[in-house]
Amino acid sequence: MAFQSKNKNSKMLLFGGLMGFFAGMLWLGPTADFFSVILTGDNLPNEKVYGVLTFMWVSPLLVVTMFVGGDLMLTKKNKHILVGISTIIGVIFEIFLFTDTDAAIKNYPDPKGRELYDASIVIGHPTSYLILIGLAFLFTFVVIGGYRQGLQTTGILRKRFFYMATAIFLFIPIAIIDAFYEPVLIVLGMRLLMVFVASLMYLSLKINM
């Protein structure tokens, strides 16, 4: 989708495509662990590797979504300020994630290939607060901004804005549950709901609706 948007010379679609890509990469940890179990019969080396593969994408996702949110809600100057603040938050998050991984990621027993790892962020660790701040930014600038733009437009553009805003609106509680809680049934349900979220993101970026 990002490549299609380049051909259409549309910055909004480009960043929207990147937003969908980085959101999908948040599931790199579970995917890598799944294939490790299938191919080797064992999990990834430990839950820290799993956690880093999963959460290292939070920062680029935040920065890209703020490009979109800034276009929806702010002037060009204020958008650059917002993106700058988001970049600083993202850099701080990555520093904590990579330098304080043992404290940031919950410890779980090694499943020894019987099931997949779960790596949740420790509530109260600085990374948890930074994630919540980032999600608050998403809600304020992308969800509210998307619905506002949708109400001010008609036709295809209205659909695209509504689809995008709804996708991010649903993504936020999914991200909270998946980041902070163990993979009980509700978490598995949230991960299945991500398929619907991805479909909405695709519809918001599709060229010929």
- What's the pLDDT tens digit per position in 7-37? 444 676 777 778 888 888 888 888 888 888 8
Q: Quote the crossing angle between the two packed helices 185-205 and 11-25, to the nearest 10°.
A: 160
Instruction: Decide: helix, strand or coil at residue 123.
Output: strand
Give me the pLDDT at residue 110, please.
67
> Residue 6 — very low, low, confident or very high, per pLDDT cuts 50/70/90?
very low
pLDDT value of residue 185: 53
Please state the domain count of the chain: 1
Q: Is 37 left (phi over 0), alpha (psi -120 to 50) or beta?
A: alpha
Question: Which residues span the domain enclosing 126?
Answer: 2-205
- The burial class, CB within 10 Å (0-12 / 13-18 / 19+), for 71 is middle
CA-based angle 82:206:179, to the nearest 5?
50
Look at residue 92 in the predicted model and tell me its pLDDT.
97
Q: What angle do CA 84, 88, 94 make, to 5 degrees?
A: 140
Say yes or no to pLDDT of 191 above 70.
Answer: no
The rounded distance, in Å, linking the Cα atoms of 23 and 168 is 10
